[in-house]
Amino acid sequence: MSTPESQLDLDVVGFGNALVDVLSHQQDEFIDLIGSTKGAMNLIDAKRSAELYELIGERVTISGGSAANTVIGVNSLGGRSGYVGRVANDDLGDVFTADMSRLGIEHSTPRAPADDPTGRCIVFITPDGERTLHTFLGASNGLTSSDVDMELIARAKLLFLEGYLWDPPEAKAAMRYAASGVSEGARVALTLSDQFCVERHRASFMDLIDDHVDVLFANHHEVMSLFEVEQLDVALDRVQERVGLAAITMGASGSVLITSGGRVTIQADPVARVVDKTGAGDLYASGVLYGLAQGYDLERCGQLGSLAAEEVIAHIGPRPERSLRDLAGELA
């Protein structure tokens, strides 16, 4: 299916694990106590999810998932977005779908039966703002090609694929199916999501990149893991040869946007206090994708990415509390 470029009325369609986030502040000792690797994303089953949930005291619950956070950020910047992600016909699924509707995001993925419950991500945030994720994928893990609304895909200027969804074979096939359905003039973007995700799927990620990906998002750890090198400069050279555009984040050192024609470095502005890094990479992608959809130059795209990331790490939760459109106006 192809839609004329003039009729691409959605800036971004996100494609990923539809989850409900449960956020809780904990000390480093708690992470050790539960046997987790600090800063990692740990896949867990329903039993482990229930055990961890019982250990949590005060918490914040909000609909999320990486690509969902990104399209929420795009809309906060003034864009228009859609989303492909599977939730169940249960209470948490109701929360998720109502939230996306309220935020103006088109989401029409068929819902799973209630006995295949909506996924959730339990996030423990340590005092340094680092987040350790424990994800029960639930219904999100059952996404198949038949769930994909190809008419929605065909309306997007950018299709944004979430690496976290790359584990199940049927979801892999669904992502490739969606990538094959973008319209002429549209682009496919991929986020590598997590270093451990890269280590599990390095070869198939490379195949996806070579076959479909125009824009690659990664942090410095992920891009070094992708190319199995220990020097960031070497990884940046490799990605420059492989992808049309790469947006690589480097924490407090900012980010770099790389094309075959050169590199644009974006300095990170100091943040008074890092409260919660949950969603920083997701919101960075929001800014860059929104900028690309508007035809902005790479420096402006990177600045919008930094602005969105800096807003979200200054408070708890993975979505902006202030209008990113208003903040971007202040940046202009």
Q: How far apart are CA 320 and CA 332, in angstroms?
A: 19
Q: Is the pLDDT of residue 215 over 80?
A: yes
- Residue with structure tokens 């482990």? 48
Across the chain, mean pLDDT equals 93
The pLDDT of 47-66, averaged and rounded, is 87
Instruction: Select the CATH number that applies to the domain covering 5-331 from these four: 3.40.50.720, 3.40.50.2300, 3.40.1190.20, 3.40.190.10.
Output: 3.40.1190.20
Q: Which of 169, 219, 240, 167 is nearest to 197 (CA)?
A: 167
Q: Is the pLDDT of residue 5 over 70?
A: no
Q: What is the pLDDT of residue 2?
A: 58
Q: How far apart are CA 330 and CA 98, in angstroms?
A: 31
Other C-beta atoms lying within 10 Å of the C-beta of residue 268: 15
> Model confidence over 265-293: pLDDT tens digits?
999 888 878 887 878 999 999 999 999 99
Q: Which of 226, 271, 223 is nearest to 248 (CA)?
A: 223
Q: What is the pLDDT of residue 60?
A: 81
Q: Is the pLDDT of residue 331 over 80?
A: no
Q: Is the pLDDT of residue 82 over 90?
A: yes
The pLDDT of 6-11, averaged and rounded, is 88
Q: Which of 138, 126, 160 is nearest to 86 (CA)?
A: 138
Q: What is the pLDDT of residue 274?
A: 84
pLDDT above 90: percentage of residues in the chain: 80
Q: Which of 151, 292, 152 is nearest to 216 (CA)?
A: 292
Domain spans, the chain: 5-331
CB 222 within 8 A of CB 192: yes
Strands 215-219 and 187-191: parallel
Q: Is the pLDDT of residue 165 over 70?
A: yes
> Model confidence over 84-122: pLDDT tens digits?
999 999 988 998 999 999 999 999 999 999 999 999 999
Q: How far apart are CA 233 and CA 314, in angstroms?
A: 29
Model confidence, pTM: 0.90
The pLDDT of 119-128, averaged and rounded, is 92
Q: Which of 153-162, 217-226, 289-298, 313-322 has the lowest mean pLDDT?
A: 313-322
Q: How far apart are CA 249 and CA 167, in angstroms?
A: 23
